[in-house]
């Protein structure tokens, strides 16, 4: 769910038992080449970008590649984050179009000031508007963090046709469960850091340097713990902290926004579409929790990226891409 504002200066591992391990999911693709391409976020493949009318304004989108496979539509985190980090998925464009967009209010999309727009139903309508504008009658979905929540809500509420599979990438599925997991992770921090967090939260001094440093300590363990590639296309692209705070809250482990009570944990069994959960070993989206969600679904599997955290897509791009590539190929091979 993290927004770009919340990724601090972070310096620089046993997969949890899963239906599918990274090694088992590897395909014949050249993962070394994938890693180099992803890190550079190159313009190797043909691309196009533009603006799309959605409820409330216009959103910016980018499409990479024109391979023969079913297109992959990626939804970014936040709320209020940006899509530019999906450039690391460029290697998949060799097989299929890879499409992503900045949700309304952030990145290169329009930034309306009407705060009533920042609600779940409108974001769900936005997904449908993007699909319709780009003629994505048949599509794979990938939702990262908050984007995973959006994918779940879209599948459960809208019950769309033409979705061939869903990739839940380090997803938010239940805010109460997310916060419970975050509380458990906080208890593993040094006592001195826990005290700084607790004292400042009680005092309401969340902007203090000490609190920000303590928050960074949590992020360094569970958000981004390994180096990530510099993505040139992200330069100057900003997230929207207003949306993040209105819908979520001030930090990853403190939710007091409109999503505070949101959960789909009891409804995931309604998603019968083939699904992949993928997360980092040290992810704030806990792999053990994702495994619980996976077990409730009729056709889902879990991949855990060893050594990675919430940013596993960028920390371990070769492993991440290999797992997603193998999953999409499996789904399309089984398709009638």
| Residue 207 appears among annotated catalytic residues | no
DSSP state string for 23-43? HHH--SS-HHHHHHHHHHT--
**3-state per-residue secondary structure call for 245-272:** HHHCCCECCECCCCCCCCECCCCHHHCC
DSSP element (H, E) containing 211: helix 209-222
Q: Are 83 and 107 in contact (CB under 8 A)?
A: yes
Q: Are 142 and 72 in contact (CB under 8 A)?
A: yes
| Residue 283 appears among annotated catalytic residues | yes
User: Looking at 145, 165, 217, 275, which residue is catalytic?
Assistant: 145
Whole-angstrom distance, CA of residue 99 vs CA of residue 274: 20
Q: How far is CA 36 from CA 41, 53, 89, 317, in A?
A: 8, 35, 11, 9
| Residue 310 appears among annotated catalytic residues | yes
User: Looking at 34, 102, 181, 283, which residue is catalytic?
Assistant: 283
User: Looking at 140, 144, 222, 310, which residue is catalytic?
Assistant: 310
Q: What residues act catalytically?
A: 145, 283, 310
């Amino acid at each position: 769910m993290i927004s770009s504002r919340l990724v601090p200066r972070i310096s620089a591992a046993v997969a949890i038992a899963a239906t599918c391990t990274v090694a088992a999911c590897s395909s014949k693709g050249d993962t070394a080449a994938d890693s180099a391409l992803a890190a550079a976020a190159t313009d190797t493949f043909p691309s196009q970008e533009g603006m799309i009318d959605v409820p409330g304004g216009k959103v910016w989108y980018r499409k990479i590649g024109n391979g023969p496979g079913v297109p992959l539509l990626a939804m970014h985190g936040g709320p209020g984050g940006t899509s530019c980090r999906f450039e690391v998925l460029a290697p998949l464009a060799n097989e299929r179009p890879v499409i992503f967009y900045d949700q309304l209010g952030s990145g290169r999309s329009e930034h309306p000031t009407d705060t009533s727009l920042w609600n779940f139903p409108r974001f769900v309508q936005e997904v449908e508007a993007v699909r319709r504008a780009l003629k994505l009658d048949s599509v794979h979905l990938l939702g990262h963090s908050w984007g995973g929540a959006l994918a779940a809500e879209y599948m459960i509420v809208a019950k769309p046709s033409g979705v061939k599979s869903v990739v839940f990438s380090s997803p938010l599925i239940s805010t109460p469960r997310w916060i419970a997991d975050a509380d458990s992770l906080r208890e593993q921090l040094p006592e001195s850091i826990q005290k700084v967090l607790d004292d400042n939260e009680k005092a309401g001094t969340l902007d203090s340097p000490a609190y920000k440093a303590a928050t960074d300590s949590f992020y360094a363990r569970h958000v981004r713990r390994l180096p990530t590639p510099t993505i040139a296309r992200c330069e100057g692209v900003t997230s929207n902290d207003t949306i993040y705070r209105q819908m979520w809250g001030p930090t990853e482990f403190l939710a007091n926004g409109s999503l505070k009570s949101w959960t789909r944990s009891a409804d995931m069994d309604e998603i019968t579409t083939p699904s992949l959960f993928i997360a980092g070993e040290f992810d704030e989206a806990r792999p053990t929790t994702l495994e619980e969600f996976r077990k409730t679904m009729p056709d889902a599997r879990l991949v855990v990226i060893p050594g990675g955290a919430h940013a596993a897509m960028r920390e371990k791009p070769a492993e991440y891409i290999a797992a997603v590539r193998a999953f999409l190929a499996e789904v399309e091979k089984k398709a009638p």
